[in-house]
Amino acid sequence: MRTMNFPLTPGRICVAVGVLVFGVLSLLHGDYVSGLQPLPSPTTTHWWAQLSGFLLTALGACLLIDRTTRWAAFGSAALFLLWCVLIHAPIVIAEPRNGTAWVRFFETFALAGASLVLAGLSASQRVTGDTNDKLIRVGRLCFGVSLPVFAATHFIYADFVATIVPAWIPARLFWAWFTGAAHLAAGLAVLTGIQARLAALLAGAMYGSWALILHVPRVLPDIGNRPEMTNLFVAVALCGAAWIVAASYPKPTR
């Protein structure tokens, strides 16, 4: 397993930019991250929202710097896991039939997993390979278990997902089912290690295509629409997360 600093790849850039934008939006709006931090309006806890925005901005910037990547990845993983436990889990438990709550929980969980993988890949020579291996395995597991959940929501709410597909794309219901199947296949590949690198690369490409085809056209006419802007960078961050997970597997040899 790698024990040298992980280079500034497109995957690392996408995750870093996503985290950075989450923080900047929080600071600009004085609110929590839309969707990923579903907390009440911060009218009485404004400073907590500002602190969250500052931490995210700092972590995103540090993810772009080689010297600080590993510790920023640890920080991002800890923050995302904290959100899962303290914010998302109670909502999922209270509203188990709320598909949006499940998606938001596992989007955050997947980003935490990718952050752990990045921490493992970004170790210096002084860190033992066994420690890195454990981080990467746990991170892959967090990311891998999230994808079948996304698949389930695509299948259960296929009609709704079809309405999100841009109108100019034919057979919208087909794409709802197809992307659900793609999530399931990618998740199983990551969890079993069978064609995991290829599956994670393709999953990243899928999220990247959503950012360009679905979210950018929604954001451009209304730049001030914060939920749409956040959704765009969730897709960007998940794209990077998938590519970081892909990078943790060895390249196939001819």
Give me the pLDDT at residue 2, please. 41
* pLDDT given at position 127: 56
Provide φ and ψ at 114, rounded to 5°.
Answer: -65, -35
pLDDT digits (tens, 9 = 90+) for 183-234: 999 999 999 999 999 999 999 999 999 999 999 999 999 988 999 999 999 9
For 89-127, the pLDDT digits (tens) are 999 999 999 999 999 999 999 999 999 999 999 976 555
In order, the DSSP letters of 57-69 are HHHHHHHTSGGGH
Is 201 in contact with 242 (CB distance < 8 Å)?
yes
Residue 60 has pLDDT above 80, yes or no: yes
With bands split at pLDDT 50, 70 and 90, how would you rate the model's confidence at 130?
confident
Q: How much is the pTM?
A: 0.94
With tokens 């995991």, the residue in question is 196
240 Cβ contact list (under 8 Å, min separation 6): 10, 11, 12, 13, 14, 15, 16, 17, 18, 114, 204
pLDDT of residue 30: 87
Query: Angle at CA 229, nearest 5°, toward 117 and 51?
Result: 65
